[in-house]
Structure 1
Amino acid sequence: MDIKTIVLFAVLPSLSIIFLTWLIRFPKPWVFKAVLIFEIILTVCTLVIELDARKTPGNSGWIIIFTGFFQFCFLLFLLIARIRIWIENKS
C-alpha cells in the first residue's frame, strides 16, 4: 500500500469518531477527552503496524480493516450510550 493511502485510512476514521463524539455532546466533559486520547493511541498504533507491514508483500492493509470494524463498533457503542443518557435525562 502507498503511504498516502495508509495515512488516509488510518487517520480519517479517527477524525470522524472524534468529530461525532464532539457533535453528540456528552454531558460529562471527560468522555470527549477519553475518546480523543483513545483515538490518538489507536491511530498511532495502526500507523506503526501498517508502516511496518508495508515491508512484507501481502501483509499491508489487514490492521486497517480490523481498525475500521472496531471503530464502527465503537461508534455504535457511543451512539447507544448517548441515546441511553438522553432517555434517562428525559424521564
Structure 2
Amino acid sequence: MSANGKLKVGMYWAASCGGCDISLLEIGARILDLAQVADVAFWPCAADFKYKDVAAYPDGYLDVCFYNGSVRNSEQEELARLLRQKSKTL
C-alpha cells in the first residue's frame, strides 16, 4: 500500500480487444472514485507509463495488477512475468 493507505494498482491489456480498458475510461468523472481508494502505478491505456517504470519498482510493489487478455508473443510474455514479479496479486 501507499504511504497514504491507498492500494497501488496496475492495469494492462495484452492480446485482447481492449474494450474493457476503454470502457473504464468512458465512465467519466466516476473514474475519480478510483483515486480515492487507489494509486494507479501502471495503466498504459490511461497514461504514459513505460515498461522501464515497472522494471524499476521493487518486487511486490503493486498490491494488485489486472492483466486483461492472453499472452500471444514474447513481449506480452515478458511483461506478464514482470508484472507478476512486481505485484502481490496478478
Task: Using structure 2 for the length normalisation, give the TM-score.
Answer: 0.28
Determine which structure has more spread, i.e. the larger CA radius of gyration: 1
Higher share of residues assigned helix? 1
Higher share of residues assigned strand? 2
Task: Using structure 1 for the length normalisation, give the TM-score.
Answer: 0.28
